[in-house]
Structure 1
Amino acid sequence: MDPRLLSICAVHGVFLRRGANDLGYRDETIKKLVEARIWHRVRRGAYVFGETWRASDPSEQYRLFCLAAARQSKTEVIASHTSAVGFHGGPLWGLDTSVAHLTRTDGRTGRKAAGVQQHRGTLLDGDVVDVDGRPVISPTRAALEVTTLAPVEASLCVADDFLRRKLTTPEQLASRYALMTTWPATLTTDLVIRLADGRHESVGETRTAYLIWREGLPYAEPQFEVYDENGVLVARLDFAWPEHKLFLEFDGIQKYVKPLREGETITDVVLREKHREDLVCALTGWRCIRITWTDLARPHVMVQRVRNLLGSKSPV
């Protein structure tokens, strides 16, 4: 790797063709480096080293794409909307990551071309924050901006994540929303603010809560705490219907990967989770329903299953 290009990447995340040309790389050489996968073209005229791209997950690849778009902009811009969500480490589920969203600082009308959407927006105090030395739209404003582009479910995933990580608060969302009097496409923004709940600890949990609300199921208490006879906390349940003696656990892969202790396998974690479930059922007399991403892909089946259990007092 060329140390000169490495230093550029350290500052800007990507390097541009014109910068490579200035260092002596001719266009024909650049083409061959890309074909050999030594360099990777993030977008036309912007590159990273192939190793960097292949080692990046989809979220990081989208961030690099946004950095390239901002770097190539002919006017001063700030990562906003979906792009700001990526820079803040938020969930990109359900969001369109084929477009980089950038807000102009000159107040002029934005344009859309080649996977880049420029926005015109009035920036108020607190709307811009520093992320790794770069100006980015604040989490509060970004969560609201996303509601103008994405469906309620995807927008909720962002709002819940930012609330859980304390990047914003319900009060901040509501007060900033009150100033969005001239923003277009905000019909669902108020709904997202009202449904957002920072107690949901993953995209899967947010989607489950939204499904419960959308289908008119009884409200399920998130992160319901269960104590033993000595008053010791033994479990925190993803969702609970105490009056129906039923609780629901969302089984995403992270539930079984994150708790891995030194020397443990996923099987060990699964067995420990099963022991936890058995203990909760023994202490409360409740029943448990477990769902996965597959269940969310066929919501009507999952909802009917929950309805049946809510209306039944017999064991699962």
Structure 2
Amino acid sequence: MMIPPREPDDPRNSDVLLRRRLLEEGWNDRAIRRRLADRSWVKLRHGAYLPTPIWDQLDESGRHGLLARAVQLQASTEVVLSHVSGLPEYDAPTWGLDLSEVHVTRKDDRTGRREAGVCQHCGTIEEGDVVTRNGVEVMSATRLALEVTTIASVEASLCVVNYLLHAGATTPEALARRNEKMTHWPHTLSTDLVLRLADPRIESVGESRSFHLCFRYRLPMPKSQYEVRDESGQLLGRVDFAWPEHKVFLEFDGKVKYEKLLKPGERASDVVIREKRREELICRRTGWRCIRITWADLEDPERTAAAIRSLLFPSLGA
């Protein structure tokens, strides 16, 4: 597993305060209500609380992860964190996913139910499906990747699958083998499509969405993480995506990318300048053209696709 476990003091590993345990320790409902009233605690769900300073440190994914842990602790039968609710334990992206409901899978193979913000699933659990991460039982990365495709869009699912592949948490072969056993699962119509589009070389949500944009708008599919060389074979740089036959490459600009490229003592502006010089070098030495897109461009995909198409096929115009 390439995704390391969390540090013990990570706020996402915080203990959920359960009412039943608090009562055993001598608390009463009046004292609990007082903690909630003065905002010392926040209420995750009925009978489950968290200290406010911890809650305030968490993003939406981290909050969902602790809510899911509360559901698991309070369940009347053994359940495993699954679908989108297992992703926080892998630090996986949750872009485009509905986190309003906690998903768990029953271990007793009985029919699940949906109530009070919780969806219980009853899919058959195979050997190797359940692992322990950060002290909780969660579905394996392989199964999680496939489960997400049954409840999310192709674009959001692709972001998850590519992340887990790139991190080495699963492989295309493992996904294909496990998918063969899902023929009777409901809502798997898009699973095969996501697996065909998935690419372990894609490094970020922004890149996954850019790749999906090309598919959605019927653009020629680019080569991922392409090494551009000059006529002598000298490596000029690796680009996010490229269409070598059209002499065009695409770079996705995002905050995470620049943070990853930061060297000791550098600022984000230093990375921007260095990336700009790399782009200019590639264009000057090869005659290739570059298009850079950002998160804002992904929110206007039709216009962005038209801009890419105009670079690939300049004689056709936009």
Paired residue for 1:78? 80
- Select which of 114, 117, 123 maps to 2:116: 114
Deviation string 1:211-252 (CA, Å, 9 cap, x unpaired) is: 101111112111001246775544210111111111110111
**Hey, what does 2:150 align to over in structure 1?**
148
Aligned ranges for residues 1-316 of structure 1 at < 5 Å? Answer: 13-227=15-229, 233-312=235-314
Hey, what's the Cα distance between the residues in 2 that align with 1:231 and 1:32?
Answer: 70
Q: Distance in 2 between matches of 1:51 and 1:154?
A: 31
Find the residue that maps to 1:258 and give its secondary structure.
helix
- Range with bigger deviation, 250-259 or 102-111: 250-259
Deviation track 1:66-109 (CA, whole Å, cap 9, x = no partner) reads: 00111111110000111112222211111111111110011111
SS in 2 for 1:278: helix
What is the CA–CA distance in structure 2 between the aligned matches of 1:293 and 1:233, rounded to whole Å? 28
CA distance in 1 between partners of 2:232 and 2:64 (Å): 49
Distance 1:135 1:225 in 2: 40
- Residue 204 of structure 2 aligns with an amino acid whose one-letter code is S
Q: Which residue of 1 aligns with 2:6?
A: none
Does structure 1 retain, via aligned residues, the 8 Å contact 2:12–2:58? no
TM-score, reference length from structure 2: 0.91
Offset at residue 187 of structure 1 (A): 0.8
What TM-score results when the alignment is normalised by the length of structure 1? 0.92
- Give the distance between the partners of 2:183 and 2:17, measured in 1 at CA: 39
* Partner SS, residue 61 of structure 1: helix
CA 1:43–1:127: 2 relative to 1, 3 Å = same
User: How far apart, in 1, do the equivalents of 2:13 and 2:240 lie?
Assistant: 41
Q: In 1, Cα distance between the equivalents of 2:210 and 2:98?
A: 21
Q: CA deviation at 1:41?
A: 1.3
The match for 1:4 is none
1:168-209 Cα deviation digits (max 9, x unpaired)? 111111111111122111111111111111111111111111
4+ runs deviating over 4 angstroms: 9-12, 228-232
Structure 1 contact 12–67 (Cα < 8 Å) conserved: no
Kept in 1, the 8 Å contact 2:12–2:66? The answer is no
Moved more, 295-304 or 35-44: 35-44
Aligned 8 A contact 1:12 1:71 in 2: no
Figure out how many residues of one structure are paired with residues of the other and give that number: 307
Q: Indicate the percent of aligned positions where both proteins have the same amino acid.
A: 51
Deviation (angstroms), 1:12: 7.1
SS in 1 for 2:95: coil
Contact 2:12 2:65 (C-alpha < 8 Å) held by counterparts:
no
The Cα offsets for residues 2-43 of structure 1, whole Å up to 9 and x where unpaired, read as xxxxx9x99873110121222222222222212322112122
Give how far 1:153 is off: 0.8
Question: What is the root-mean-square deviation in Å for CA atoms of aligned residues?
Answer: 2.0
Structure with the bigger RCO (C-alpha within 8 Å, sep 6+) is 2
Distance (Å, rounded) in 1 between the aligned partners of 2:118 and 2:279: 48
In 2, the alpha carbon distance for the partners of 1:11 and 1:295 equals 36
Shift of 1:266: 1.5
- In structure 2, stretches of 5+ residues that fail to align are 1-8
Query: Is 69-78 or 23-32 further displaced after alignment?
Result: 23-32
Pair 1:11–1:209, CA change in 2 (3 A): closer
